[in-house]
């Protein structure tokens, strides 16, 4: 009887979801046609002649999810280009498709470059992309660090890490980290040897013993020496991020909760460079040191040859051909490009 009641409850919950109106698809149609569709209904759609879906299939499937269709159905001219067809890159600005003859800047994903550059200009020509380069893995990039038993890395998993990327390790409860807690990708190799997470053994010392000493901690609360007594009042109280009142803000960036809610990961908008700690924690009710997002530089093309880079990342230096011959050296400093040469 319990099982029947539970099944009935599940069915009623599904049925109670908000229904969807017939999706309006410019240049397309749905089957079966109706004015409304109940929650959880699956629906097929296709595009009219000389049109195509943004999936580049000749039909697609939609799901009514509590009043909204997923995914959003789109039909575009067959001469449009779809950004997903460019591997290892993201278009700027992002769109579902780009019209014929559009010139679009694609930014290579982290750890990839196109002829030594982080971006490339691509042209849409009658539904196909025309490009002179591809985003290929940079020789200085690293694979993910080798797995460490009883440990994790305090940032989302990724297949490729750029030269200069740093990761931090943490051990699970009951284990102590031995070795450097961080490692940096340097020209395809991780800087530090593999760490170990060693089972922690509590050793009781007689009160007042000459050998007893208090542990010391770094700014993130990782033990640097002494005993591991977590009741020691000298240890910073690192708590769940929601214990700090309001989330911190970072201009041109955002924070993402990670590590089970014990830290916030800082991320910057496209082209902005993160400087400072990549992770923020709630320590004794206060936020630890916050990072900043340094602005990129939009290059002045008036004196430069065409088909060159449009942006430099903060701290980056590069050289370019001048329109009238010679070279110009450019350095980006927090949104301000510093030029040397070409009459600047």
pTM for the whole thing?
0.47
> CA-to-CA distance for 233 and 100, rounded, in angstroms?
66
Please say if the pLDDT value at position 159 is more than 90.
no
- Measured distance between the N- and C-terminal CA atoms of the chain, rounded to whole angstroms: 83
The mean pLDDT value for 79-88 works out to 88
Classify 343 as helix, strand or coil.
Answer: coil
| Best CATH choice for the domain 14-77 from the list 2.10.70.10, 1.20.120.790, 1.10.1130.10, 1.10.1060.10 | 2.10.70.10
Select from 249, 277, 281, 275 the least CA-distant residue to 262: 281
pLDDT above 60 for 33: yes
Across residues 218-229, what is the average pLDDT?
40
Residue 245 above 50 pLDDT?
yes
- DSSP collapsed to 3 states, 130-159: ECCCCCEECCCCECCCCCCCCEEECCCCCC
CA distance 249 to 251: 7
Kind and range of the H or E element at 197?
strand 196-199
φ, ψ dihedrals at 237, nearest 5°: -85, 95
Residue-level pLDDT at 290: 92
Of 17, 44, 5, residue with least CA distance to 28: 44
Whether residue 74 is predicted with pLDDT greater than 70 in this model: the reply is yes
Please name the residue that has the structure tokens 């109706």.
Answer: 34
Range 311-338 average pLDDT? 83
Q: Is 73 helix (H, G, I), strand (E, B) or coil?
A: coil
Q: Which residue in this structure is represented by tokens 């395809």?
A: 188
Would you place residue 223 in the very low, low, confident or very high pLDDT band (cuts 50, 70, 90)? very low
Q: Which of 78-82, 222-226, 302-306, 315-319 has the highest mean pLDDT?
A: 78-82
CATH topology agreement for domains 14-77 and 234-294: yes
- Out of 15-24, 178-187, 204-213, 276-285, pick the least confident: 204-213
pLDDT at residue 9 tops 60:
no
CATH number for the domain formed by residue range(s) 234-294: 2.10.70.10
Q: Does domain 146-204 have CATH number 2.10.70.10?
A: yes
Give the CATH H-level superfamily of domain 83-137. Complement Module, domain 1 (2.10.70.10)
- Domain spans in the chain, listed from the N-terminal domain onward: 14-77, 83-137, 146-204, 234-294, 297-340
DSSP string for residues in 217-268? E-TT--EEES---TT-TTS--EE-GGGSSS----TTEEEEEEGGGTEEEEEE
Q: How confident is the model at residue 1 (pLDDT cuts 50, 70, 90)?
A: very low
- Percent of the chain whose predicted confidence (pLDDT) is above 90: 22
Task: Tell whether the model's pLDDT for residue 70 goes beyond 90.
Answer: no
Kindly give, in sequence order, each residue whose CB lies less than 8 Å from that of residue 230, ignoring residues fewer than 6 positions away. Answer: none
Mean pLDDT in residue range 100-107: 91
Predicted confidence band at 65 (pLDDT cuts at 50, 70, 90)? Answer: confident
């Amino acid at each position: 009887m319990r099982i029947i009641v539970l099944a009935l409850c599940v069915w009623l919950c599904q049925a109670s979801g908000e229904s969807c109106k017939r999706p309006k698809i410019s240049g397309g149609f749905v089957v079966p046609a109706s004015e409304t569709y109940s929650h959880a209904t699956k629906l097929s759609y296709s595009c009219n002649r000389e049109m195509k879906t943004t999936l580049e299939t000749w039909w697609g499937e939609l799901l009514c999810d509590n009043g909204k269709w997923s995914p959003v159905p789109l039909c575009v001219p067959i001469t449009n280009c779809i950004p997903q067809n460019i591997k290892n890159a993201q278009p700027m600005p992002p769109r579902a498709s780009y019209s014929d003859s559009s010139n679009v800047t694609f930014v290579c994903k982290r750890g990839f470059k196109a002829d030594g550059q982080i971006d490339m200009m691509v042209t849409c020509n009658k539904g196909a992309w025309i490009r002179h380069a591809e985003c290929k893995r940079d020789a200085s990039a690293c694979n993910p660090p080798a797995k460490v038993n009883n440990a994790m890395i305090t940032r989302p998993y990724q297949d490729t890490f750029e030269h200069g990327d740093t990761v931090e390790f943490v051990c699970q409860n009951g284990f102590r980290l031995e070795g450097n807690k961080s490692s940096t990708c340097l020209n395809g190799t991780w800087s530090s040897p593999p760490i170990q997470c060693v089972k922690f053994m509590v050793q009781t010392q007689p009160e007042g013993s000459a050998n007893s000493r208090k542990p010391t901690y770094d700014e993130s609360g990782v033990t640097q020496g002494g005993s591991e007594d977590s009741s020691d009042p000298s240890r910073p109280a690192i708590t769940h991020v929601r214990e700090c009142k309001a989330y911190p803000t970072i201009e041109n960036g955002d924070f993402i909760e990670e590590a089970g809610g014990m830290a916030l990961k800082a991320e910057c908008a496209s082209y902005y460079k993160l400087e400072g700690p990549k992770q923020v924690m709630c320590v004794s009710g206060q936020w630890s040191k916050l990072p900043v997002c340094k602005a990129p530089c939009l290059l002045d093309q008036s004196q430069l040859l065409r088909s060159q880079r449009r942006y430099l990342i903060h701290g980056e230096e590069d050289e370019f051909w001048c329109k009238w011959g010679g070279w110009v050296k450019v350095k980006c400093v927090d949104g301000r490009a510093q030029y040397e040469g070409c009459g600047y």
